[in-house]
A = this chain, B = another copy of it.
Amino acid sequence: MKKLNVGMIGGGFMGKAHALAYAGMPMFFWPAPVIPHRHTVVDVTDELAKDAAARLGFENYSSDWRKVVEDPEIDIIDIVTPNDSHAEIAIAAAKAGKHIISEKPLARDAAEAKTMLDAVREAGVKHMVAFNYRRTPAVALAKKYIEEGKLGKILNFRGTYLQDWSADPNSPLSWRFQKDRAGSGALGDIGTHVIDFARYLVGEISDVNAVAKTWIGERPIQIGGVDKLGTVKANVDVPKAAVDVDDEFMTLVKFENGAVGSIEATRNAWGRNNFLTFEIHGEKGSLVFNYERRDELQVCFSDDPGDSRGFRTVYTGPAHPYGEGLWPIPALGIGYGETKIIETYDFMKSIAEDTKVSPDFEDGYQIAVISDAILESAEKSEWVNLSKQGEMANLSK
């Protein structure tokens, strides 16, 4: 079996998830399309990188991502850094002929994403954006039902991503609250996952009309570079600085195929943890999903008899997408790790078989275009039509 060497740039929370996926993927999907080898991990300092290598099972480490990107032994570059470094790394990796998987959002805005897309197209390498949640088997099952026509024509979509880790005003000001580093706030960080669901399940979005809010205007400055996602409260004495991204947005959407919908995200929703949901109504049925209970998909079929019609709670397992590779009994339990293992599997397969994988940088770019439009719409208080937003129309063909 072919082995491909991975150079992973970043050793934080996301690095952990990706490292687990590299280790676990062949255990689940066998024979593996390729074996991803944890060749080199990069972190900010040599010391941190050395520690990351030991922790995450990489053979080598480095504090110089450029050298890794250019290392001829490396086949794949995996970008798990904050948003402001995605483009630079990806473009360099593309030029070096490496296949690339980048964490989401692809870039801070559409223009930046476009430079990345241009680079991978030019280089002819494989590329993927890590919108892992659509790899949840229950989400893939939703897609399957829709493609099989079991819901008929799709009428609408409503998606939410609600968290509460930044609802506390003393949650520190990490890079996720800084526009120059993150691009946007809840929108780019979590809202883009919902946009990915909407496009994956329903189709291309043509128009948006949004409101956006920054509820907590300033936060205590984070000490040290590590982003703890709100789990550490800052000391009261710490100086504060301004938040210049959205805490929350809501947008109406129109789809090219006539469906309508709403998308919203916030990190200030007390009691919601990773409440990534969708509800879809079609002419012949409905779907409901909540990632907090991610082993389940709820589906209602209109042609069930009237006296026994209702949402079926389907627990995904061997009978469902990716079921052959996963655990043998439904509800043994899909965790975050499994979504990343499936993602890695699909990426490796696309490399091995030289096929297009989705979501790739084109999707990442389109999602950036939509995200920009959402912010523009919120600022101008008007609908923004996406066909006017540059290359997008071509992409969606």
Q: Is A318 interfacial (CB 8 A cutoff)? A: yes
State which residues 283-331 of A face B: CB under 8 Å: 283-286, 288, 291-296, 298-302, 304, 306-315, 317-320, 327-331
Give Cα A292 to B292, complex, Å.
Answer: 11
Q: Is A55 interfacial (CB 8 A cutoff)? A: yes
In the bound complex, do residue A158 and residue B16 qualify as a contact, i.e. CB atoms below 8 Å apart?
no
Give Cα A331 to B13, complex, Å.
Answer: 15
Stretch at the interface among A59-67, A101-109, A269-277, A387-395: A269-277
A57-B27, A252-B211 given; A264·B158 CB < 8 A: yes
Q: Is A122 interfacial (CB 8 A cutoff)? A: no
Interchain CB contact (< 8 A) of A23 among B1, B24, B211, B266? B24
Q: Is A223 interfacial (CB 8 A cutoff)? A: no
- Say whether chain A's binding surface is mostly helix, strand, loop, or mixed: mixed
Give Cα A57 to B25, complex, Å.
Answer: 11
A211-B260, A270-B286 given; A333·B294 CB < 8 A: yes
A252-B211, A266-B281 given; A292·B274 CB < 8 A: no
Stretch at the interface among A79-87, A92-100, A160-168: A160-168
Residues from chain B with Cβ under 8 Å of A194 in the complex: none
Give Cα A213 to B273, complex, Å.
Answer: 33
* Count of residues in A whose CB is under 8 Å from the partner chain: 106
Give Cα A300 to B57, complex, Å.
Answer: 40
Residue interface bits A157-188, CB-to-B below 8 A is 1, else 0: 01010111101100000000000000000000
In the bound complex, do residue A336 and residue B336 qualify as a contact, i.e. CB atoms below 8 Å apart?
no
In the bound complex, do residue B270 and residue A284 qualify as a contact, i.e. CB atoms below 8 Å apart?
yes
In the bound complex, do residue A307 and residue B27 qualify as a contact, i.e. CB atoms below 8 Å apart?
no
Q: Is A352 interfacial (CB 8 A cutoff)? A: no
Closest chain-B Cβ to A47's Cβ sits at a distance in Å of: 14
Give Cα A54 to B233, complex, Å.
Answer: 44
Q: Is A34 interfacial (CB 8 A cutoff)? A: no
Give Cα A174 to B252, complex, Å.
Answer: 30
A228-B328, A266-B156, A314-B309 given; A23·B57 CB < 8 A: yes
Q: Is A383 interfacial (CB 8 A cutoff)? A: yes
Of all chain B residues, the one with the shortest Cβ separation from A312 is B310
Give Cα A294 to B307, complex, Å.
Answer: 16
Closest chain-B Cβ to A2's Cβ sits at a distance in Å of: 12
Q: Is A46 interfacial (CB 8 A cutoff)? A: no
In the bound complex, do residue B381 and residue A337 qualify as a contact, i.e. CB atoms below 8 Å apart?
no
In the bound complex, do residue B295 and residue A292 qualify as a contact, i.e. CB atoms below 8 Å apart?
yes
Q: Is A69 interfacial (CB 8 A cutoff)? A: no
Closest chain-B Cβ to A187's Cβ sits at a distance in Å of: 14
8 extra interface residue pairs, beta carbon distance < 8 Å, beyond A215-B283, A273-B330: A167-B281, A229-B329, A231-B328, A251-B252, A252-B262, A271-B286, A274-B332, A312-B313
The 7 closest A-B pairs by CB, nearest first: A335-B335, A271-B300, A23-B23, A274-B331, A273-B330, A273-B331, A310-B314
